């Protein structure tokens, strides 16, 4: 099939490349000229495991192209995917300006039947608004489909290639058939393609992310209680995760959820509920708890040092991205923690395997002025007063923790991701303060 993908970020680039890998002809469009140039030069602007191999193959075989010219991309396309940003506005409402702008432009360009697919996460009713924006400028036949994306950054290629389900929201049989044909190669193992109406499809994506954010937050609250009553959240996780009604996944306590999706999608569905006269109380609490959880580690540091003045102290930071296997730092707890520590007078030495450059672009001048970035995880330990772990990158899981004291001024670890076994920490003579588990001093 001939397909145009508008917006070549995490979702657009992965979708375009994976569709190309299954034999389709893909043209990706972006307004960012530098990004398009980079892609044309064979460089991938994001870090995503496995992407480079299929990207190179599809380019080599001529199935994947990049342009800034929307008209050129959509001219021969049967399907046009919108993978555009939908950031939160000040009131939490999803900002649809990019989606509606492109929809208006498409109306002026299409002359024969097209399926326009919204892959961006968009509020209920957006398919109708896109339809209106396109129809204003054309008499050509077209359908608008909602096809929310469930990929996880860090495992995006794997998720896209083998989705647990594909959700297609459309009331058009013609569009449903085309979309089903497109996705069939990805669900050969029998996972379902679920066709439903546009509104349910749009809401499905928000419901999924809100549910996951709630699950994380629930466990963080259990962890906070554990700290007060002397229980261990790891034991509770094992105790409840074995109940198949609850399930094992998304039960790890930590320093809160971040990223480009959960925070904004929870806000957006909360806003939609409010707009429709419904007070979505659980999500109100989820957002408030998560805000506090992101910097809860700083409170633990204050308690440990008995002061909120960290002048003269240097802390190592391991992990800047919002989760492992990505360079994405959008809404990453590390951003907030770094700001809080620097505000209290600390100097930082920060390491991340992939996210140093993205972090530098997103953080404040104060943080930049007070942080040394290093290219090796050991270097972030040299002469520091304590190590703060913000992201659970695999390489942080098995360092020789009994050697921490060889590098650090004092072997004190504040672990926001519960990476180490408490017994091992005890034997290693380190001070180890984690989330929802007894502290080791
Ligand atoms: P992104 O910011 O990484 O990429 C968006 C791209 O669109 C950018 O390259 C930008 O330059 C481009 N763009 C903006 N306006 C444009 C225009 N008028 N014409 C052409 N290109 C334009 O965003 P993303 O993370 O890929 O997310 C896109 C959408 O998918 C969002 O709605 C997001 O919520 C949703 N989503 C994201 C993920 C994820 O893990 N990142 C997962 C599922 C769904």
User: Residue 428: which pLDDT band, with cuts at 50, 70 and 90?
Assistant: confident
Q: Which residues, 6 or more positions from 301, have their beta carbon under 8 angstroms from its beta carbon?
A: 310, 341, 386, 388, 414
The C-alpha atoms of residue 397 and residue 51 are separated, in whole angstroms, by 25
Q: What is the Å distance from ligand 1's center to 99 Cα?
A: 10
Is 199 inside a domain boundary? Answer: no
- Is 30 annotated as a binding-site member? yes
Residues 280 and 305 in one domain: no
**Residue 402 confidence (pLDDT) above 80:** no
Query: Which of 194, 216, 251 represents a domain boundary (last residue)?
Result: 194
Question: Tokens for 292?
Answer: 């506090």
**Ligand 1, from 6, 8, 10, 266: best to mutate by most atoms within 8 Å of Cβ?**
10
Q: What is the Å distance from ligand 1's center to 236 Cα?
A: 37
Helix segments in 63-125, DSSP class H: 70-74, 97-109
How many domains in the chain? 3
Q: Is 27 in the pocket of ligand 1 (CB under 6 A)?
A: no
Residues 304 and 287 in one domain: no
**Residue 259 confidence (pLDDT) above 80:** yes
pTM given for the model: 0.94
**Is 374 in contact with 302 (CB distance < 8 Å)?**
no
Tokens 């994306």 -> residue:
149
Residues 20 and 133 in one domain: yes
Name which residue sits closest to atom 7 of ligand 1, judged by CA.
7
**Cβ atoms within 10 A of the Cβ of 240, count?**
15
Domain interval for residue 309 = 295-433
Beta bridge partners of 156: none
**Is 166 in contact with 138 (CB distance < 8 Å)?**
no
The C-alpha atoms of residue 14 and residue 292 are separated, in whole angstroms, by 33
pLDDT tens column, 403-425: 888 899 999 999 999 999 999 88
**Is 115 in contact with 80 (CB distance < 8 Å)?**
yes
Q: Relative to the CA of 152, which ligand 1 atom is closest? A: 40
- Is 404 annotated as a binding-site member? no
CATH number at residue 113: 3.40.50.720
**Is 355 in contact with 393 (CB distance < 8 Å)?**
no
Q: What is the Å distance from ligand 1's center to 398 Cα?
A: 35
| H/E run at residue 309 | none
**Ligand 1, from 12, 34, 259: best to mutate by most atoms within 8 Å of Cβ?**
12
Q: Which residues, 6 or more positions from 45, have their beta carbon under 8 angstroms from its beta carbon?
A: 13, 35, 38, 39
Is 201 inside a domain boundary? Answer: no
Dihedral of CA atoms 67, 70, 71, 74 in degrees, nearest 10, equals: 90
pLDDT tens column, 98-132: 999 999 999 999 999 999 999 999 999 999 999 99
Residues 261 and 326 in one domain: no
Helix segments in 136-253, DSSP class H: 156-161, 173-183, 198-229, 233-241
ipTM of the complex: 0.99
The C-alpha atoms of residue 328 and residue 350 are separated, in whole angstroms, by 16
| Torsion sign across C-alpha atoms 367, 373, 377, 382 | negative
């Amino acid at each position: 099939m001939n397909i145009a993908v508008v917006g070549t970020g995490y979702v657009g680039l992965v979708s375009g490349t994976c569709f190309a890998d299954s034999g389709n002809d893909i043209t990706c469009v972006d307004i960012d000229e530098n990004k398009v140039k980079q892609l044309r030069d064979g460089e991938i602007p994001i870090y995503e495991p496995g992407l480079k191999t299929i990207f190179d193959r599809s380019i080599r075989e001529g199935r994947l192209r990049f342009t800034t010219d929307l008209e050129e991309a959509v001219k021969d396309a049967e399907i046009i995917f919108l993978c555009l940003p939908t950031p939160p506005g000040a009131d939490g409402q999803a900002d649809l300006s990019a989606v509606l702008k492109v929809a208006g432009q498409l109306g002026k360009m299409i002359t024969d039947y097209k399926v326009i697919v919204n892959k961006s996460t968009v509020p209920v009713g957006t398919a109708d608004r896109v339809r209106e924006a396109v129809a204003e400028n054309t008499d050509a036949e077209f359908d608008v489909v909602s096809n929310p994306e469930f990929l996880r950054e860090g495992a995006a290629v794997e998720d896209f290639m083998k989705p647990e389900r594909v959700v297609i929201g459309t009331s058009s049989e013609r569009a449903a058939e085309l979309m089903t044909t497109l996705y069939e190669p990805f669900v050969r193992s029998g996972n379902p393609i679920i066709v439903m109406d546009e509104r349910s499809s749009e809401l499905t994506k928000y419901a999924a992310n809100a549910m996951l954010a709630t699950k994380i937050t629930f466990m963080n609250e259990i962890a906070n209680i554990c700290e007060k009553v002397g229980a261990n959240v790891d034991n509770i996780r094992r105790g409840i995760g074995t109940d198949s009604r609850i399930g094992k996944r998304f039960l790890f306590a930590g320093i809160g959820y971040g990223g480009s999706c959960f925070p904004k999608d929870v806000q957006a569905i909360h806003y939609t509920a409010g707009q429709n006269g419904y007070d979505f109380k659980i999500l109100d609490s989820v957002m408030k708890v998560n805000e506090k959880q992101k910097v809860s580690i700083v409170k633990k540091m204050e308690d440990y040092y008995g002061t909120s003045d960290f002048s003269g102290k240097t802390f190592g930071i391991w992990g800047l991205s919002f989760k492992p296997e990505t360079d994405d730092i959008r809404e990453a707890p590390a951003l907030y923690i770094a700001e809080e520590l620097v505000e209290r007078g600390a100097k930082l030495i920060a390491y991340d395997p992939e996210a140093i450059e993205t972090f530098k672009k997103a953080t404040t001048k104060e943080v930049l002025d007070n942080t040394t970035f290093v290219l090796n995880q050991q270097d972030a330990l040299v002469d520091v007063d304590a190590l703060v772990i913000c992201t659970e990158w695999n390489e942080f899981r098995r360092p020789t923790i009994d050697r921490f004291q060889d590098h650090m001024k004092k072997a004190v670890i504040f672990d926001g991701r519960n990476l180490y076994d408490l017994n091992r920490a005890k034997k290693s003579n380190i001070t180890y303060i984690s989330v929802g588990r007894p502290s080791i001093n």
